[in-house]
Structure 1
Amino acid sequence: MSDEIKNREETEGWSNFIHDFIDEDIQPGGRFAGKTVHTRFPPEPNGYLHIGHAKAICIDFGTAEKYRGVCNLRMDDTNPTKEDTEYVDAIKEDIQWLGFSWDDRFYFASDYFPKMYELAVGLIKKGLAYVCELTPEQMRENRGDLTQPAVSPYRDRPVEESLDLFARMKAGEFADGKMTLRAKIDLASGNFNMRDPVIYRINHMHHHRTGDTWCIYPMYDYAHPIEDALEGITHSLCSLEFEDHRPLYDWVIANVDLPDKPRQIEFARLGINNTVMSKRKLRQLVEGNYVSGWDDPRMPTLCGLRRRGYTPASIRNFCERIGVSKVNSTVEYGFLEHCLREDLNENAQRVMAVLDPVKLIITNYPEDLTEEFEVENNPGKPEEGTRTVLFSRELWIEREDFLEEPFKGYFRLFPGNEVRLKTTYIVRCTGCKKDEDGNVIEVYAEYDPATRGGNTPDGRKIKGTIHWVDAKTAVDAEVRLYDSLFTVPDPDAGDFLEVLNPDSLKVLTGCKVEPALAEAKPGQSFQFMRQGYFCADSVDSTPEHPVFNRSVSLKDGFKKKAGK
């Protein structure tokens, strides 16, 4: 290992098997010796990116960063069926949000349609491609098996005839499915991807960029290696399902007339329990109105996670810590939450919010008095300063913080018990008032003026501390509590729509929050003391009607499980 590589490992983190291959390739005498490491991220613009794509983004862009190379962003728009500029814009926004940049290296596969057609003509002239008239059904019937080769009666079609038919396909003379262009490789190959695969098909559909210029479109397995070669990609990093396609990738690179010869390396995709990451299934959830949209905070899309309150740092940290492997595995969703909790614990401002409010009246506190208390915004970061909260005779507290008849180990408010009101005073509960149905509507307490700041000069022990919001200045807010979208760990095992969680969203209204929260910026994160981490909804929250999404609870089940 060269000194440069050793230094890079020491300063930029551990290596993985992809980096081991790259280290070999850039050594003197290696395949790419003297070249800049050049990767690419090639999403198909037919949906929104999800957390699985985040792993690929971190690998593609992160590898380029590690080797001081570059990474292209390329839209794989070879199939116009579901593609749209809406998805292009969303993909760019998500990648930038994660903290990566492609600078001016932004491309579309459709940029290369003329060159791809020219190279396909070249394959025909070399006797390496032919026009086939088998229908998709006939092609399936004639694909053979492990003991029988595939069959195509058009394989020996004269070159000139294939050239003529291919030109007429391009001119739009034939209907969809009438003809295809197939690579002539090996009908008896044990790898079915090499049994004369289709490299062009007819599709009379309007393309979001090229309009109606083309009615034939290249297949991904043909287009992708050409795009990589044209852009000077050194290492084409892709997910494991393309491992069986690598011989075809290499065949295209070897037989088309392009100078660069990229190397394809595969890694395992990201699997997470209690969710689905098939674009088709995510589209079903959106189009079937099972969720509010691609950015629904229950969705594993990056825009959904962002709206829920996930941070770029938490997702990048998650992707880095799960590592890069050649073996498919499933990661617990709890670990993703753990990474978010770590980040927000470090950076989120602490505030007080009451989600299920009941009035607390301090009967011996002067009715016309309001006091100011200074509260740290983040106890772990004194540099973030303090804020002023107001305290008066009437407060809002959580309904669960009072019990008329407490159970063993309950240290909050009950008649005769003392608790500390966060930052302010010690109060002793004296009783409550109920409505006709027996529901508590007011709780009463008396405060001890000598305990300002929550101190106990006489040294008495106070076991319970509860949060509160001043009733005079509190702002009403809506709070959305999110849970897993599915009731089973593996919704892909059956009909995923049958295991949707009916309690995946609970909307609380009339919650009471500090007045400053009405001015929260879209997406701004907070720790609601004793409740969890929340963020201001980026779509629905306004100063007149603040809306907060629970990003993650305070309890870290994954950490406890890992500890055991």
Structure 2
Amino acid sequence: MSSESTAPVATNFLRNIIESDLSAGKFTEKRWAGQPGPASVQMAGQPDPARIRTRFPPEPNGYLHIGHAKSICLNFGLARDFGGVCHMRFDDTNPEKEEQEYVDAIIDAVKWLGFDWNANGTEHLYFASDYFQVMFECAESLIEAGLAYVDEQSPETMRTMRGTLTEAGKDSPWRDRPAEESLNLLRQMRDGKHPDGSMALRARIDMASPNINMRDPVLYRIRHATHHRTGDQWCVYPMYAFAHPIEDALEGITHSICTLEFEDQRPFYDWVLNNLQRLGKLAAPLPHQYEFARLNMSYIVTSKRKLLQLVKDGHVNGWDDPRMPTIAGLRRRGYTASALRLFCERTGVSKSNSRIDYSLLDQAMREDQDPHAHRSVAILDPLKLVITNFPADKVELCHAPRNPHHPEMGMREFPLTRELWIEKEDFAEVPPKKYFRLFPGNSVRLKYGYVVTCTGFNKDAAGNITEVHVEYNPDTKSGTPGSDSVKVKGNVTWVSASHAIPAELRLYDRLFSEPFPDAGDGDFLACLNPTSIETVHGWLEPGTIAEPGVVTQFERLGYFVADAKDSTAEKPVFNRVTTLKDTWAAGA
């Protein structure tokens, strides 16, 4: 059903709850009919082959972000580890904001992370819209039982009458209307006989409840909008708080795991389930909702509204811009699915809100890829280096490990020629203290090659250094007996000027310059980092793999991946995923 765990499993309160439930045999009588359904369907089913059932229930109104990745890993991971099943369910009850594009993107993201929803011969892919008829029948049952009524107050009046945290709400003048009248009006609403906002179905609970969510919440509202799956079949849609518990129960979910903002909604969740079970609509055992702290990371925003604003206003180049915290953006930038799973595992599960520093994601990426990524060399800010005593027509092969941790991966080879590219920062006309790279009279090793000594340099009319001259010691090639005959303190990376591959390299950094861009009432756009991307044109070691999804460590520079959209064999484009060490704190 899902990928293997990427880190040792640490216990948490959710695991403890599940272990306790299983030990107590809480679900031994639970039945499963092979598909979701009300009590009449489920009670005719067989004993449930899944020990537990969880679900990942996104609304298809945007692309998933890294916070969703944690929920995905948590729900699918718990099901995997406890012999259960995790359902993939779309909460598509808001037709005005939902699109098939988002459905497709979400499915792609979850599968890329390494999870699927096939178990026991069944594909557990579901939509709230699959249950619209059952939900409507549940609403009718609540009306008949005196537990719901149609209210004709305007939405503004309802909000006013709801009261405040310190003042009780006031009953609607329609609260005691006969059940038959409410039932007739609800059906008229369904049949399109009333305009948007003219009436709504509300639960009849307690307008004086200290929990404001229990003050006769709305169950159904009128929306004359085309749904991406059901078209114009419906013009009334259930509210999420009403739909959510019904969906869970129809699917036989045992542990409904939400983030902390839904904690105050749990009493209403239980009210819906308990009453509908009593009315014969839902089968026992009922789902139970549990809440955990959502993932809050520094230097990003995860509000779908704000992410959509970044896209629509052109601050980024789409939902998959490599600076975005969306799974599509992280994937395009080059973060691996295994690195994201490792990161989510390490952030843990708790009931307390906290901020996770972005650097922990980069650390997970480094640890995930250091043992596996191929090594190569890239020169981002090139300066010509000429080995004046090296024959102009000579090409000599040098060798280096593809990955130093795994000799069995073999060696890579690349040519050494008279003219090379090195980084400009590797030469100084007047060196500062403790500078061990090239300067007049100093010797360094061309990494995997020879020891060279700087003999001079050229400048242009503007005083810019255009070329550095060195002489090589032919007895000092790396890997030969004489390689240690001359001791030097500095190593310089290089590529052959005549063999190097020209490439565009995009150096990404944090999208925001402030750690908490959406804190308080400030404008989060004012915190955009003006240097979140720098594009340079450099040179790559010949043989560098330029395939999207294949991570390469460019020595000294960091981890890079060919861009999935813009890179071609003729014109490779590489994205920097992360540097080799965290430099953000130092202001780099």
Aligned twin of 2:154: 135
Cα distance per residue 1:290-334 (max 9 Å; x no partner): 000100011000010011111111111111111100011110001
Aligned twin of 1:514: 541
Shift of 1:29: 4.6
CA distance in 1 between counterparts of 2:210 and 2:170 reads 11
Q: How many equivalent pairs are there?
A: 549
For the 8 Å contact 1:246–1:264, the answer to whether it is kept is yes
Shift of 1:215: 0.5
The correspondence of residues 14-413 of structure 1 with structure 2, limited to 5 A, is 14-30=10-26, 36-103=51-118, 104-145=123-164, 146-256=166-276, 257-260=281-284, 261-413=286-438
For the 8 Å contact 2:200–2:221, the answer to whether it is kept is yes
For the 8 Å contact 1:420–1:426, the answer to whether it is kept is yes
Shift of 1:557: 5.3
Over 3 Å counting, the alpha-carbon distance change for 1:457 and 1:245 in structure 2 is closer
CA distance in 1 between counterparts of 2:300 and 2:25 reads 46
Cα distance per residue 1:493-550 (max 9 Å; x no partner): 21101111111111112x0112323x51112211111111111111100011110111
Give 1:513's aligned amino acid.
Answer: L
SS of aligned partner of 1:444: strand
RMSD: 1.7
Shift of 1:28: 3.4
Shift of 1:151: 2.4
Query: Sequence identity of aligned pairs in percent?
Result: 56
Over 3 Å counting, the alpha-carbon distance change for 1:202 and 1:383 in structure 2 is same
Give 2:453's aligned amino acid.
Answer: R
CA distance in 2 between counterparts of 1:187 and 1:323 reads 38
Moved more, 13-22 or 355-364: 13-22
Aligned twin of 1:533: 559
Over 3 Å counting, the alpha-carbon distance change for 1:490 and 1:541 in structure 2 is same
CA distance in 1 between counterparts of 2:413 and 2:125 reads 48
CA distance in 2 between counterparts of 1:463 and 1:283 reads 51
The correspondence of residues 536-547 of structure 1 with structure 2, limited to 5 A, is 536-547=562-573
For the 8 Å contact 2:168–2:209, the answer to whether it is kept is no
In the superposition, the TM-score normalised over structure 2's length comes to: 0.91
The correspondence of residues 483-502 of structure 1 with structure 2, limited to 5 A, is 483-493=509-519, 494-502=522-530
CA distance in 2 between counterparts of 1:382 and 1:107 reads 47
CA distance in 2 between counterparts of 1:142 and 1:424 reads 80
For the 8 Å contact 1:240–1:266, the answer to whether it is kept is yes
For the 8 Å contact 2:249–2:283, the answer to whether it is kept is yes
CA distance in 1 between counterparts of 2:584 and 2:562 reads 25
Give 2:11's aligned amino acid.
Answer: S
Cα distance per residue 1:195-220 (max 9 Å; x no partner): 00001001111100000000100001
For the 8 Å contact 2:477–2:483, the answer to whether it is kept is no
CA distance in 1 between counterparts of 2:483 and 2:419 reads 25
Give 2:233's aligned amino acid.
Answer: T
The correspondence of residues 412-561 of structure 1 with structure 2, limited to 5 A, is 412-453=437-478, 456=482, 459-493=485-519, 494-509=522-537, 511-517=538-544, 520-556=546-582
SS of aligned partner of 2:54: strand
Give 1:221's aligned amino acid.
Answer: A
CA distance in 2 between counterparts of 1:296 and 1:438 reads 39
Aligned twin of 2:39: none
Shift of 1:168: 0.4
CA distance in 2 between counterparts of 1:440 and 1:557 reads 28
Cα distance per residue 1:223-261 (max 9 Å; x no partner): 011111111111111111111000111111111121131
CA distance in 1 between counterparts of 2:357 and 2:29 reads 40
Aligned twin of 2:38: none
Which consecutive unaligned segments of at least 5 residues does structure 1 have? 1-8
CA distance in 2 between counterparts of 1:28 and 1:218 reads 35
SS of aligned partner of 2:232: coil
CA distance in 2 between counterparts of 1:193 and 1:218 reads 16
For the 8 Å contact 1:350–1:378, the answer to whether it is kept is yes
SS of aligned partner of 2:257: strand
SS of aligned partner of 2:548: coil
Shift of 1:488: 0.8
CA distance in 2 between counterparts of 1:507 and 1:458 reads 38
Over 3 Å counting, the alpha-carbon distance change for 1:558 and 1:475 in structure 2 is closer
SS of aligned partner of 1:492: coil
Which consecutive unaligned segments of at least 5 residues does structure 2 have? 31-47
Cα distance per residue 1:411-450 (max 9 Å; x no partner): 0010100000011100001111111111111110000000
Give 1:107's aligned amino acid.
Answer: Y
SS of aligned partner of 1:365: coil
CA distance in 1 between counterparts of 2:382 and 2:410 reads 28
Over 3 Å counting, the alpha-carbon distance change for 1:101 and 1:125 in structure 2 is same
CA distance in 1 between counterparts of 2:350 and 2:23 reads 23
Give 2:540's aligned amino acid.
Answer: V
Shift of 1:32: 5.7
In the superposition, the TM-score normalised over structure 1's length comes to: 0.95
Shift of 1:457: 5.4
CA distance in 2 between counterparts of 1:170 and 1:22 reads 40
For the 8 Å contact 2:563–2:575, the answer to whether it is kept is yes
Shift of 1:12: 6.4
Shift of 1:559: 11
CA distance in 2 between counterparts of 1:534 and 1:458 reads 32
Over 3 Å counting, the alpha-carbon distance change for 1:254 and 1:485 in structure 2 is same
Give 2:76's aligned amino acid.
Answer: F
For the 8 Å contact 1:144–1:151, the answer to whether it is kept is no
CA distance in 2 between counterparts of 1:140 and 1:468 reads 68
Shift of 1:459: 3.7
Give 2:111's aligned amino acid.
Answer: Q
Over 3 Å counting, the alpha-carbon distance change for 1:150 and 1:24 in structure 2 is farther
For the 8 Å contact 2:451–2:486, the answer to whether it is kept is no
For the 8 Å contact 1:422–1:454, the answer to whether it is kept is no
Shift of 1:81: 1.4
Shift of 1:169: 0.2
Cα distance per residue 1:47-94 (max 9 Å; x no partner): 000000011011100000110110000011000111111111111111
